[in-house]
Structure 1
Amino acid sequence: MSPRTRKAPRRTLGFTLPPAMKKALLPSCLAALGLAAWSDVPIPATWRPWLALAEQHARTASQPAPTSDTGPGFTTAPLPLPPAPTEAPRQSVEPATAPAPEDALALSHEHTRRVDHLGRARALKELGDVSGALTEVRRALHDDPADTDALGMAARLARLQGQPETALLAWSRLGNLVPEEAGALIQQARLLVSLGRHAEAVRVGEEAVLRAPEDAEVYQVLGRAHLGSGDLSAAILRFQQAVHLAPEHGYALNNLGFAYLRAGQDSKAAEVLAQAAQLLPHVAYVHNNLGVAWERLGRKEEARAAYATATQLSPRYVQARVNADRMNRIAQADLSLPEPGPREVGLPSSP
């Protein structure tokens, strides 16, 4: 039987050649491949394992090198480099703005529907709940900080609640919102005077004069500020201006008489205080001041009558009682000269 027709038993290669032997048999295998490709000469069966080995080696050689780097002798294909980072365009960075200061008047709150906090404040004030009314009006200012009605109400309620700084802030903001009116500044200056902050009251009063030069109340409160700071000449001038604009302004007349007494101008004091007593017959300190003026002028009976009226109008008015007791002792002793001793003078009026 020829080698071509005889069937050789199928065998499976169960061994692995060492690398050195593979390298030695490689030329022979390649020669066998060439011979098989160019002729029809049958290949002996004993060559077939080597031919299969040569074909496998040829296919492996034609493939790209492995990329694994787990062992020595293997080349690793270079990895593509990542693209160079492009520089991001510079952006102008604005400095962070500081948060707005919290509004000292407004009371922060949230609600899902519109609430009339100002209306609630008015209702609570009618019921006598000043604290609750102030809370509601502050909520109204949180919803609308420029509500002039709420600002005025907040100022008045805060003063009733003993919160003068809150009241001052409300009057100041109201004055800024209504620059053509002087009412808020007058109220602010009055509160400053009552707190003894006379220099601030003078500054606010001067601003009020610029807004309302024909308003007697402006000069009245400015005169009180000067009087509190000890500037008698400026106080007298401002009170005179108030009386000139409003001749029947009883409180301005009383304050002018008080300033005259402080300045030692007793005759002028008695004249204007007599007018004030007629205009304000139920105000105790006006009659007490008139009694001091009469006593200084030596008119004892008029002084006793004025002190007695003041004591009747206000039995707890200590200054009037002291003055009345002294004049009674003088009358009982039938002395021609007044008994030496300090004379108490009433405080200037505040309205």
Structure 2
Amino acid sequence: MASFGWKRKIGEKVSKATSQQFEAEAAGEKDVVQNEEGSWLQASKRRKEALQEGCAQKSKQLKDEGASLAENKRYREAIQKWDEALQLTPNDASLYEMKAQVLMSLHEMFPAVHAAEMAVQRNPHSWESWQTLGRAQLGLGEIILAIRSFQVALHIYPMNPELWREDLSWARALQEQQKAARRVDSSEACAQVARPSPQPVPDYDFESDEIVAVCAAIAEKEKTVSANKTMVIVSASGTVETVTEEEDATPPDGAFFIKAR
């Protein structure tokens, strides 16, 4: 049976020259690998940059085509071009802003607000995007939100007279009209509450015993009155007199009166 001893360390009997040669070869191979990896990374980076540049150029072409279509009021075709451009450059805020303008022209306010919000998210420093967002919000009747959007646009570009004179002034005028309408509605509601409500007509039960008894009494009274005789007497001098005579009463003397029919 063979006996086992301690394992010797690798390279214990390797000469120094052989060891140095091995280290040098390993270092050379490492440099080659590093150079190959660097070349591959640089090539990949160049390809990515070229692809991005191509996408940007194609996106710009689609953007210009959409703008030309929008100027000719071919809004649906313009939106289609800009949607294709957004597939290539999804962070282009100007594409969303132009799309929002066209959607407002089509009176599609909810999609317009959404597109303008996307534009503001991608470029919060674009006063055009904030202006378009405010106009879309006005289209939905969101006056307070629109005023805030116009104020942000003015904060970015305070020297724009269009924002001052048209957008913000218009929004504030609408806000005052809304407040006045609410005051009128409130006053009318208060007046309606203060005005006494008419008393409801009582609902009589015409089949109750009390009503039946009253009706019977009235009928009996009318029967008694109808039993009397009513006569119109004209005297010789021309005087007319109405006389009600009961059944047992004695008629007047015919020598003094003439009976008229």
Shared fold per TM-score greater than 0.5: no
TM-score (norm 1): 0.34
Question: Higher relative CO (CA 8 A, sep ≥ 6), structure 1 or 2?
Answer: 2
TM value normalised by structure 2:
0.45
Q: Which structure's residues are more often strand, by fraction?
A: 2
